[in-house]
């Protein structure tokens, strides 16, 4: 049994009218898509970038590692910052940092310089990502489950379109791909300035140690570790997969865009239905088994390009379910406000997963191309054990199917919003 959560301090956007709520929500969603394109845009250009600048797969994989490591570590500061300068200002600051880093990457003359700018890119992402989730919940007050699905859909759309755009622009030059990303983020900045209402500084600023204290809750820590373990497979696939495929930048972009389309479909359509049928935690376990099996098939048939392509695309279905359900459970796993929960969860998710791109590429060079996928398949299996360990500390409603209420099925219903995701929109 978990103790009843304590009321959370207000962390609010000023209360716009109902129509303004919708505009603000979609403005943040659009910006989230643009920001997460930054992850996908790199995959198709890794091989040509390595060829032009003389880098090995392990060296260019540091573009992912520096990005993820800084983003994960900086997540700890996002709640402290946003609680002092406001949600809106934090989002805009993050976009500015990302745009500058993308421009710097496009003008770089060495792999090392790009790695450095990608680290700055990760800092901007940290400011934006955790804050964006809390902001979407704030503009959809009383509907946290829908807010999480909308946020993860935006994430999936960004990761899906990023490789496609990166592949097309990468056919011109990898520098143009980075410039394209900078342009999209600049556009997102303008959209937020126009449509997102000004935020009010909350009366009780969050302490710097709040995310660490949140992770002392067994439920939140276990959910964060589950996310870390399956993200090892995701990040390894994005960083090492392009070298295994041996396709052109545009072709790789199409493959990973197919993955992203599957992810968006499963996030929006499959995840809610599976959650209602099985319960969020059992559904997460099923998705982990299927994702691990897909990675295992990839490890076995790494030399067969059609099989690898099919596994990459199909894995998007399982990752979409995992992203939606694990995020939803995580936001409800500890008696803390949404921004703190998101920061703590994302710190483990991205900070810990930062090693995966480099390790996968290094392992592939040191042993053979099968080993990286076999290792991350094992990590997803380990996530099942971690989920079982943490399940008793999670809310009971996540462990059982939803009850039918007329035509509507609810799991941890939006009508009874979890305390951790109650981000008030009161003035």
pLDDT at 144: 67
Q: Is there a contact between 375 and 114 (Cβ–Cβ < 8 Å)?
A: no
Q: Could you please report the per-residue DSSP string of 62-103?
A: HHHHHHHHHHHHHHHHHHHHHHHH-HHHHHHHHHHHHHHHHH
pLDDT at 63: 84
DSSP label of 7? P
Q: Is there a contact between 140 and 131 (Cβ–Cβ < 8 Å)?
A: no
Q: What is the pTM of this model?
A: 0.76
pLDDT at 414: 47
Cα end-to-end distance, the chain, whole Å: 34
pLDDT at 356: 80
pLDDT at 62: 83
Neighbours of 404 (CB within 10 A): 10
| Three-class SS state of 203 | coil
pLDDT at 327: 84
* Structure tokens that stand for 11 in this block: 């962390």
Q: Could you state, in chain order, the average pLDDT of each consecutive group of 10 residues for the chain (427 residues)?
A: 44 47 83 83 81 82 84 84 85 95 92 92 88 79 74 81 84 89 92 81 70 88 92 85 84 87 89 91 95 95 93 94 89 76 81 79 84 93 93 85 51 42 34
Class of domain 18-198+211-402: mainly alpha
Each domain of the chain, given as residue ranges in start order, spans 18-198+211-402
pLDDT at 102: 93
Q: Is there a contact between 390 and 223 (Cβ–Cβ < 8 Å)?
A: yes
- Can you say how many angstroms the Cα of residue 198 is from the centroid of all Cα atoms in its chain? 25
pLDDT at 426: 30
pLDDT at 60: 83
Burial 78-104 (b: 16+ CB within 10 A, else e): bbbbbbeebbbbbbbbbbebbbbbbbb
């Amino acid at each position: 049994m978990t103790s009843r959560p304590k009321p959370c301090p207000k962390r609010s956007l000023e209360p716009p009218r109902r129509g303004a709520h919708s505009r603000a929500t979609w403005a943040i969603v659009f910006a989230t898509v643009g920001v997460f394109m930054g992850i996908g845009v790199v995959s198709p250009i890794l091989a040509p970038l390595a060829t032009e600048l003389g880098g090995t797969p392990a060296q260019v994989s540091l573009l992912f590692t520096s990005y993820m490591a800084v983003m994960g570590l900086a997540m700890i500061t996002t709640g402290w910052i946003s609680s002092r300068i406001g949600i809106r200002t934090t989002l805009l600051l993050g976009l500015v940092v990302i745009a500058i880093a993308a421009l710097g990457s496009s003008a770089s003359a060495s792999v090392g310089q790009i790695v450095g700018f990608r680290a700055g890119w990760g800092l901007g992402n940290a400011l934006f990502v955790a804050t964006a989730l809390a902001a979407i919940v704030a503009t959809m007050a009383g509907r946290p489950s829908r807010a999480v699905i909308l946020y993860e859909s935006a994430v999936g759309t960004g990761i899906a379109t990023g490789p496609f755009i990166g592949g097309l622009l990468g056919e011109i030059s990898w520098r143009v791909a980075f410039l394209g990303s900078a342009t999209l983020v600049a556009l997102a900045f303008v959209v937020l300035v126009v449509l997102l209402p000004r935020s009010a500084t909350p009366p009780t600023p969050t302490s710097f140690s709040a995310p660490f204290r949140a992770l002392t809750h067994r439920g939140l820590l276990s959910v964060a570790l589950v996310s870390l373990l399956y993200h090892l497979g995701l990040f390894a696939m994005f960083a090492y997969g392009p070298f295994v495929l041996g396709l052109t930048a545009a072709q790789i972009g199409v493959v990973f865009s197919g993955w992203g389309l599957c992810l968006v479909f499963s996030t929006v359509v499959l995840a809610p239905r599976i959650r209602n049928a099985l319960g969020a935690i059992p559904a997460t376990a099923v998705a982990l088994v299927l994702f691990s099996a897909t990675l295992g098939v990839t490890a076995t048939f790494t030399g067969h390009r059609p099989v690898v392509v099919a596994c990459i695309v199909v894995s998007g279905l399982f990752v979409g379910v995992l992203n939606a359900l694990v995020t939803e459970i995580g936001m409800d796993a500890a008696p803390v406000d949404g921004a703190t929960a998101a920061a703590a969860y994302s710190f483990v998710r991205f900070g810990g997963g930062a090693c995966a791109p480099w390790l996968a590429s290094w392992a592939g060079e040191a042993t053979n191309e099968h080993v990286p996928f076999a290792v991350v398949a094992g990590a997803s299996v380990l996530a099942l054990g971690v989920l079982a360990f943490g399940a008793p500390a999670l809310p009971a409603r996540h462990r059982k199917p939803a009850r039918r209420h007329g035509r509507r099925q609810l799991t941890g219903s939006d009508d009874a919003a979890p305390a951790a995701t109650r981000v008030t929109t009161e003035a």
